[in-house]
Structures are given as structure tokens and as C-alpha cells.
Amino acid sequence: MTASPTFTAVGRSSALAGIGFMLVAVFLFGLNSGVGKWLVAKYPVGEFMLIRSTLTLILLSPFIWYAGRAAFANAPRPGLQLLRIVFSSAEVAMFFWAVSYLPLADTTTFYLAGPIYVTALSVLLLRERVGWRRWTAVLIGFVGVVIALRPSSSSFTLPALIALSGSVIYALVMITTRALRETNDITLMTTYFIGAVAFGAATVPFGWVTPAPRDILFFCGVACANILAQFCVIRSLKRASASVVVPYQYTLIIWSVVFGWQMFGELPDAYTIGGAAIIVAAGLYIFWRERVVARQTPAVPAELP
């Protein structure tokens, strides 16, 4: 039996809408990173996180109110929730700390390796099985990271190591988020930004630059772009399956190159381009292989009462 033309057209339209939402989300994330890089050149990273996340929470307040206190009081595994908050605050701080010294495309390239680290760490932390094909892709991805680091003793600078460490912590954020997938989306988003506010507030005694009125508008813009990007990701995953839309997240490297070039006159060198190409190829293969394995794994039948 073949699918009806109407059903096929509706499915194709929904998939295209999902891809469109994901592409918009990635564009906004890239813009957010570019404006953030510009702001942390003028303000301490902790202050940037404090102001941006406070404004984001204010904009999110209607959704937080709608979710209600129960969404937070009944959140599962509070210890793991706290660990995720610590990881998420650390990785954001490391990203913007690194990007204040490194080109935007370089830092983004390191963070693109996050899904590769997730595959490796899930064996240890989630007890998931990973076959030899995905392990090979993980090793190839690591080669891409080494190439992006520029294989020479003088290239292993502190900012590069911070970006590399931040990308590993980003993988831990994804793993803990996967383990907390039963948690309400608003709860996960809210606690994420509360952690950033707490981190930023703790750094205030070590340095504060009073924001210029014009820069407040940029902080507001970053907060709005952040929420809109999150909304687009959610809508994307509701309109199409993850297997269709997630690979388009790798277009972030394109926007990082564009914004780095237009805003800061940065152009990636051959090491960054080569490393990014290898990392993206390895990540896409791992994602494709996970889909194959998921289709081959038989469903466990529900037990009869």
C-alpha cells in the first residue's frame, strides 16, 4: 500500500518546517555567540552571564509562572539537577572566556566535538553499548580536534585548552540532560539560567564594569535571541523527527565563520577548516549509525498485567 499524496505532502511540509525552525535556531545561536564575543571584550565574562541570564529569566517569567511551583518542586533526581546546573554554568563561562581570546570559528569547532564526547562518555556514565564503527568515528573525531588545536607545542595555549575543556563539559551537560529527560522543559531552561545568574553574581566582587545604555540594548537582544532560539529548537523537534533536523545544527560552523569575519575580521585557517570538516563528518556518521542501531534493536514488548 502506498501513502496517499496528501499524507506525503503534509509529511514533507512538516519536515521542511522543522528544518526551517532548526536553521533559524542555529542562526540565532551563532548571532548570540558573535554579539557575546563583542560584549565580553568590554565586560567580564561573569558580568555578561549575570546580565544576560537575568534578562532571560525576566522574559521567561510568564512561562515559569504558567509551569507552576510543582514543576520545580517535583523535579526528579535533585542531585543530578544540581550537577547539571554546575556543568552548564561552567561550559558557558568557558565558551565566552575562550572566545574572548580565540576566533569565533575556532571555539565553535571545539564545541562541535561535544556529540563525539557524548558517545565516548555514555559508555562510562550511561552504560550504553557502542560498537566498533562508532568507536572508529569517535577516534577520527578526536583526530579532527587535534588538527583544530594545531599540532605544535606553541599552539596549545590556555584559551585553546579552556575551549577544549569547555567542550568536554558541554558533553557532560548533554549527558545529564539526557538522564533528566523526564524533567519539564521550562524547569530545565530556568535552572540553566539560574545557575548562570548565580555564577555571575559570585564573580561580581572581582570586577564590575557599569554597562553603557547602548550596551544594555545588546544584552536585551542577546536574551531575546536566546529564548527565540530555544523556542525554534522546540518547534523544530515537534514538527519533524530529531533524525531529520539535528544534523542541521552543524551549520553553526558556517555562521561562526560569517559572524567572525564580518564582526571581527577573523578568517579560519586551514587547520580550523580541516579539523571542523573531520569533526562534522565524524559527528554525522555517529548520528547516522545511532539511527541504524535504533532501527535494528527490537522493541521490548510490554508485560501483561
Residue 258 in domain: yes
Give pLDDT, residue 301.
Answer: 44
Q: Which residues of 45-62 are buried (b: 16+ CB within 10 A; e: fewer)?
A: bbbbbbbbbbbbbebbee
| pTM for the predicted model, two decimal places | 0.84
Where residue 24 falls among pLDDT bands split at 50, 70, 90?
A: very high
pLDDT of residue 153 exceeding 60, the answer is no
Q: Identify the CA nearest to 112 among candidates 181, 59, 60, 164.
A: 164
The crossing angle, in degrees rounded to 10, of helices 104-112 and 78-99 is 150
Residue 20 in domain: no
Find the mean pLDDT for residues 235-262.
84
197: amino acid identity, one letter: V
Residue 10 in domain: no
Interval 100-144: pLDDT, tens: 999 999 999 999 888 888 888 887 777 778 788 888 988 998 899
Q: Which domain holds residue 144?
A: 36-294
Residue 18 in domain: no
Residue 203 in domain: yes
Residue 279 in domain: yes
Residue 26 in domain: no
Please state the domain count of the chain.
1
Give pLDDT, residue 219.
Answer: 94
Find the mean pLDDT for residues 25-37.
94
Give pLDDT, residue 302.
Answer: 40
Residue 9 in domain: no
pLDDT of residue 251 exceeding 50, the answer is yes
CA 200 – CA 194 distance, rounded (Å): 10
Where residue 304 falls among pLDDT bands split at 50, 70, 90?
A: very low
pLDDT of residue 268 exceeding 60, the answer is yes
